[in-house]
Structure 1
Amino acid sequence: MARAAIGLDQDTGRDHVVCDRLGKLADAVRSTLEKTEGVLTPHLDELDELIAERDQSIQAKAQPYVQLVLDHEVQESARTNARNWLGHALEKTTEPAIRQFLADSWQRVMEAACLVGGMSGTRWQECADTIVELNWSVQPKPTADERKRLIALIPSLLKRINTELDRLDISTEERTPFVNACFDLQTAAMRSRPGAPDFPAQAPAQAPLAPAASSPPFGEVRAPQAQILELDGKLVQYIGLPTETKSLWRTDSSAWKEGDWVSFLLPDGERLCGRICWQSSLSGTVLLFNSGWGYAVALAPSSLEQQLRDSRARIVSATSLFDEAASQALGQITKR
């Protein structure tokens, strides 16, 4: 019965649907035990059915929150991949106009491409190849064959660039400075001389790359970073770390599994008890949900691992009633 009521607030009244059914079941068991040859099997089956119904209900109600976290992590992954691509792309050009264009516009193009098919997708590769050709197009062309190839390339190159900018609704006004600078650079390349003197004086745009994640000092645990995800009235407390890495403590046989009920702490110290309804196959993020919360909690696996190691969290669905009673009795004896 404790398993059936797990996760309910301590002040939950008897009129709660779960408490009501457990109360009636307890009355039925008591009545059966008063009989000489009372059989408890039907009551145990009813209890198992109640547990299964509650778990299935919570799992179903958690799905919108799962999708919210999944969408968030896919977006964040695409943003990170585009930012990393930009870092490498900036190393391959010194032209201020192109560097600014990559940071201001093409990084967004790469992020959108990653969302469509990932880094192995056709669109990502085509967008990356476009910049390779753009860089080549502004380099000096001392031979007639190179100039002929450039003349043939420019129309299709500009078309591909404009197509991707159109997809992101980047205005003509926003892209015009780059288009004009690009024309000047390619004209200079045709004349076998680097640089475009008419490009307006402007500091090279250095991409706002994320600072390299540094490891905390030995023995220091980095504080979880929390944010609120919201969509259509659904809220998720997303608690992760700035850079999630595979923990040395984690093994292939994880300490938890979907369906476990876990008692854990939020960053502000509030204790909650929720059911693990999903774990990301990519990031390992664990989504916990309880119908009584009105929201869900997404925890970085390293955060949950740390709490389990420190005994601030525990898997309560794996705790037997005997162990719970023994622990309480031991605690009372210790206080005497």
Structure 2
Amino acid sequence: MTAAGKKAESSNAARLLILQNMVPLATNLVSSQLEGFSTRLADELFKLSDQSIRPDEAKISFEAHQLVMRNSTAFYRLVAGQINAALSKEVSVFNTKKRTRRDDAQLDTTAQTYEQMEAKILLRNASQALEVLNAEPLVLLNTLIGRILNRMPIDVSQNPFRPEIFVDAVHRAWIELDPDPATHLLVLRLLQPSIFLQLTPILEEINEELMARGIHPESEIASESSHAGATYLPAQKFFSLDPYLQDKLRRVFSGQIELAHSDPHFDLHSLAQVSDTLTNQLDLEADEEDADKASVDQHFFADLLEMQKRIAQQETTHAHYESRLHKVLHAGSAQKLSVVERNTIELLARIFDYIFADQSLGDDIKCMVGQLQIPIVRVALLDRDFFFRENHPARILLDMLGNSGILLDQEASESDPLLGLIGDVVERVQTEFDEQIDLFSDVVSDLESYLKDEEQRAQEAISQPVQTALSEEKMRIAREFAEHDVAIRVETGEVAGFLEVFLQEQWIRILTIAHSVKDEKPHALENALKTMDDLIWSLKPKNSPEERKELISKLPSMLTLLNAWLNAIRWDEPDRVLFFSKLAERHAAMARAPLELSPRRQLEIAVNIAQRASNRRLDRFAQEKVVQEDDEAMKQVAALETGMWLDFNEEDGQVTRFKLAWISPKRSSFIFANRLGDQAFSISAADLEARYRSGTATTLLANSLIDRALTYALRDLAI
């Protein structure tokens, strides 16, 4: 066996040992819960026997209840043994290759009895319910196991500690305890989350133990740096390679086809057409390698390392960018590379061609990316997951560099400390990278730390504008409530014309204040609304002596409250005198009116009120009809999220770039700021919609740079 083979075997054994060590831990944690689980199951069986309307089910349930109560110790032993055996088996056969989907196996109905089919469906349903309940620790465990295997997070169907294993083991333990088939499906139906073992503490303990052994979730990098997870980077539109493109990638790395190698001025539109007959396995090329392949790799890697050092020493310019990787394939040591290795280099060459042709990237960023070509080739040859994992650290670094082009101030980029840090990162990769891919995780962490600190300072810088905007929104919402309070009263048609003007111009101001302080002073709003209602009532026709007497008795207190509120808003204009003069005239006219209004007069008044109410409703209906329906601009504003970057075109033709730093709770106000937060401004939703309609505001959606490059490089490759 070669040294590389021994190393791989040793590595696989070490990984398997880590997982095997988790089995007794899980079994012990299960054992500590068995008494409680057994009690819950027995209670549920007794309840079912008591409530079931089917005599046979009631009898079977009661007998099962008694069986658990009489044989609790044996049940504990059987459950612990079955779970230990099931977990040990799962870990022993566990590998990194794609597994058959468990759901497909469970739904296989060939040569099965009805009871077997029902058992599979019940097992699946119980497992899925537990997966939902334990989603958070399961996802973390999927990630940690993927980290152990040096690959992306595994699927829950591949997790040897998934809920399905526990449910199936408990069911098998019951079958062993009670051979009577009549109870088997009955008990399986009862294995619901409220009765079953509590898996969350078990999974959490496994996670903690793995992390204590130095295995940490790589998602800490990916979730914040890859897709819209970090507010200090441009918000990214959801993007992933579609299944056709993923299949193309697998074919490229199957070793069965070879990409056409192109000249230094490669045209991305002309990719070779290939046959569509072949497998998507990624490790087929191993059997085709020559006996002296290891020495060829060493020679080629030595040439790459030498080229990397030369590029690091060269002075870079912004004159012209082209991929250096096309030349790599012409090196003498590259002639004996496998098809897969040549495909890897060719695909990377096309990716870098796309990056250098991307007009959205500035020269500074292209210069930095260009210096990473050789290190990225070496990474991809060592770890082909670079092409398949969006959270691969080297891929994250390239994406961060691409997104940094949006953050950098184009006018002053030479003095921008972020650009200086990126330069340091690139230099470190060039000079230090050998074969330890963890170096990329380190430099990504450094870059992220800087951006997080910068983001925190920016958030502190906009704290005052945020407080101002919150106060303004609170008053704006209070006024909307106030306008509604007045509108529903005016719409009845019973409000006199001069009073309607007064309510809309002055009382709305009072109600706005009352609504704004209703949490601290709820009685203020009640008082303001009652005063308004009393005022409106006081001007309605009084058809009986009793109503007139009531008016006279209420007027003094009502007028006192009315003046107090008007003093609060400091309404001292001459219009106030005119208003009270008209009010006094109306009240006096009511007091001098005939004792009884004739039926005819009462009918005329009612008809006039109904007519005014109808006109009000028609006016409101007409206004609602002319309200602009949701257009594209409104949809764009509605889709905005904190962290997105926008370009604003000013009247002088200058384009300024700002980040959406804050959105008010009601989305009526938006605060934008530059990267450092020292230039901030607030804009209303309506004004922002108008900017979108006029084309003077545009959203910058930053898809992953490598995703875009891969899509473009593979788009003409036939499946």
How high is the TM-score relative to the length of structure 2? 0.33
2:488 paired residue among 78, 82, 88: 88
Match of 2:537 in 1: 136
Match of 2:465 in 1: 65
Match of 1:291 in 2: 675
Match of 2:407, SS state, is coil
Match of 2:513 in 1: 112
C-alpha distance in 1 between matches for 2:437 and 2:538: 89
C-alpha distance in 1 between matches for 2:480 and 2:436: 67
- Structure 2 contact 494–540 (Cα < 8 Å) conserved: no
1:102 paired residue among 496, 503, 506: 503
Partner AA of 1:81 in structure 2: F
C-alpha distance in 1 between matches for 2:409 and 2:482: 44
Match of 1:19, SS state, is helix
| Alpha-carbon distance, 1:22 to partner | 2.5
2:623 paired residue among 212, 215, 223: 212
C-alpha distance in 2 between matches for 1:270 and 1:212: 38
| Alpha-carbon distance, 1:38 to partner | 8.7
Match of 2:570 in 1: 169
C-alpha distance in 2 between matches for 1:111 and 1:80: 8
- Residues 163-312 of structure 1 mapped to structure 2, 5 A cutoff: 163-171=564-572, 173-192=574-593, 212=623, 214-216=626-628, 221=631, 257-258=641-642, 260-264=643-647, 273-283=657-667, 285-291=669-675, 294-296=679-681, 298=683, 300=685, 303=689
Partner AA of 1:101 in structure 2: F
The answer to whether structure 1 residue 9 and structure 2 residue 409 are counterparts is yes
| Alpha-carbon distance, 1:68 to partner | 3.6
Match of 1:74, SS state, is helix
Cα 1:128/1:188, change in 2 over 3 Å? same
Cα 1:173/1:10, change in 2 over 3 Å? closer
Cα 1:16/1:85, change in 2 over 3 Å? same
More strand by share: 1
| Alpha-carbon distance, 1:285 to partner | 4.8
Cα 1:326/1:191, change in 2 over 3 Å? same
- Structure 2 contact 483–508 (Cα < 8 Å) conserved: yes
Match of 1:171, SS state, is coil
| Residues 256-307 of structure 1 deviation map (CA, whole Å, 9 limit, x = unaligned) | 643x333455586865544332223323655432236823364749949x89
C-alpha distance in 1 between matches for 2:503 and 2:640: 43
| Alpha-carbon distance, 1:171 to partner | 1.0
Match of 2:218 in 1: none
Match of 2:527, SS state, is helix
Match of 1:231 in 2: none
Match of 2:550 in 1: 149
- Structure 1 contact 4–47 (Cα < 8 Å) conserved: no
- Structure 1 contact 257–276 (Cα < 8 Å) conserved: yes
Match of 1:288, SS state, is strand
Partner AA of 1:111 in structure 2: T
Aligned-pair Cα RMSD in Å = 4.3
| Alpha-carbon distance, 1:321 to partner | 2.6
Partner AA of 1:90 in structure 2: V
| Alpha-carbon distance, 1:324 to partner | 4.7
C-alpha distance in 2 between matches for 1:299 and 1:94: 34
C-alpha distance in 2 between matches for 1:76 and 1:66: 15
- Structure 2 contact 495–536 (Cα < 8 Å) conserved: no
| Residues 11-36 of structure 1 deviation map (CA, whole Å, 9 limit, x = unaligned) | 43332222223323333333322x67
| Residues 201-237 of structure 1 deviation map (CA, whole Å, 9 limit, x = unaligned) | xxxxxx9x998252558xx948x7xxxxxxxxxxxxx
Match of 1:24, SS state, is helix
- Structure 2 contact 645–657 (Cα < 8 Å) conserved: yes
- Structure 1 contact 290–296 (Cα < 8 Å) conserved: no
C-alpha distance in 2 between matches for 1:143 and 1:216: 48
Partner AA of 1:261 in structure 2: M
| Alpha-carbon distance, 1:4 to partner | 5.2
| Alpha-carbon distance, 1:167 to partner | 0.6
C-alpha distance in 1 between matches for 2:583 and 2:438: 86
| Alpha-carbon distance, 1:156 to partner | 1.1
Match of 2:699 in 1: 313
Percentage identity across paired residues of the two chains? 20
The answer to whether structure 1 residue 56 and structure 2 residue 56 are counterparts is no
Match of 2:420 in 1: 20
| Alpha-carbon distance, 1:80 to partner | 3.4
Match of 1:47 in 2: 447
| Alpha-carbon distance, 1:322 to partner | 0.8
- Structure 1 contact 140–188 (Cα < 8 Å) conserved: no
2:560 paired residue among 126, 150, 159: 159
C-alpha distance in 2 between matches for 1:45 and 1:100: 63
Partner AA of 1:323 in structure 2: D
Match of 1:198 in 2: none
- Structure 1 contact 5–19 (Cα < 8 Å) conserved: no
- Structure 1 contact 277–288 (Cα < 8 Å) conserved: yes
Match of 1:75 in 2: 475
Partner AA of 2:623 in structure 1: A
C-alpha distance in 1 between matches for 2:443 and 2:530: 67
How high is the TM-score relative to the length of structure 1? 0.65
More helix by share: 2
C-alpha distance in 2 between matches for 1:14 and 1:53: 21
Partner AA of 1:66 in structure 2: V
C-alpha distance in 1 between matches for 2:459 and 2:449: 15
| Alpha-carbon distance, 1:186 to partner | 1.7
- Structure 1 contact 286–298 (Cα < 8 Å) conserved: yes
C-alpha distance in 1 between matches for 2:543 and 2:627: 49
| Alpha-carbon distance, 1:106 to partner | 1.8
Cα 1:147/1:284, change in 2 over 3 Å? closer
Match of 1:117, SS state, is coil
Say which structure, 1 or 2, has more relative contact order (CA 8 Å, 6+ apart).
1
Match of 1:275, SS state, is strand
Partner AA of 2:681 in structure 1: A
- Structure 1 contact 113–123 (Cα < 8 Å) conserved: yes
Count residues with an aligned counterpart: 281
